[in-house]
Amino acid sequence: MDVYAIPMDVLLLNLILYGCLPLWVILGFADYVCHRRSDIERTSGTRESLFHCVMGAQIGLPVFLGLYFEINVLLLLLAFILLAVHLWVAHSDVAYALRARKVTLWEMHIHSFLETLPFVVVLLIILKRWPAFVDLITLNWAGNLTLVPKATPVDFHYIVGYFLFMLVVGIAPYLNELWRCWSTDRKLRSFTKRVVE
């Protein structure tokens, strides 16, 4: 295969699938490590951990849909809405965390990438699916507001591998964080109740 003749849409897809999406999961894990080192379960607790779960779902949903369905006006609208809400939740998360625990410089750098990377992915998707973006901005939405399975599906082995990777490196650590925070909060409430009685 002539590496100089790879079509641009293939390069963009490979950059998204093998660069941006795994990097998002790896950075999420690095953020989890920062939370754990700052003793999140004894500082900001369950509330902040719930912020993290919500933000993961806000990015995970369009990733899932984009792997299975054609990028059209519906998916672009959903991506823009979720990006806006994600920014608001991320701001609320950091504002809360700064009052409750030490947020290190490394964690702030990781946040910068976690906030920027979804925008990069959406911009790459726009380049790859330019006609869908033109339909969106020209309000040519008729027939473009349904989920349409991909004409050329993403490789099944990639999807299985990515979701296993996401489960182990992305989802499991944050479920562990949520469990630790909830368990610590419950023990604290139980202790406080016994002291008051």
Give the Cα separation of 113 and 108 in Å (integer): 9
Give the Cα separation of 1 and 196 in Å (integer): 73
Which tens digit of pLDDT belongs to each residue from 80-109?
A: 999 999 999 999 999 999 999 999 999 999
Q: Rounded to the nearest 10 degrees, how much is the dihedral formed by the CA atoms of 193, 195, 196, 197?
A: 80
Given a contact cutoff of 8 angstroms between Cβ atoms, the answer to whether 34 and 104 are in contact is yes
- Model pLDDT, residue 187: 81
Q: Which domain holds residue 168?
A: 3-196
Say how far residue 6 (Cα) sits from the centre of its chain. 29
Domain count, the chain: 1
Given a contact cutoff of 8 angstroms between Cβ atoms, the answer to whether 66 and 125 are in contact is yes
Q: State mean pLDDT over 132-144.
A: 96
Give the Cα separation of 59 and 79 in Å (integer): 8
- Does the predicted model carry a pTM greater than 0.95? no
Given a contact cutoff of 8 angstroms between Cβ atoms, the answer to whether 13 and 128 are in contact is yes
Identify the sign of the CA torsion 187, 189, 195, 197. Answer: negative
Which tens digit of pLDDT belongs to each residue from 41-93?
A: 999 999 999 999 999 999 999 999 999 999 999 999 999 999 999 999 999 99
Give the Cα separation of 155 and 161 in Å (integer): 10
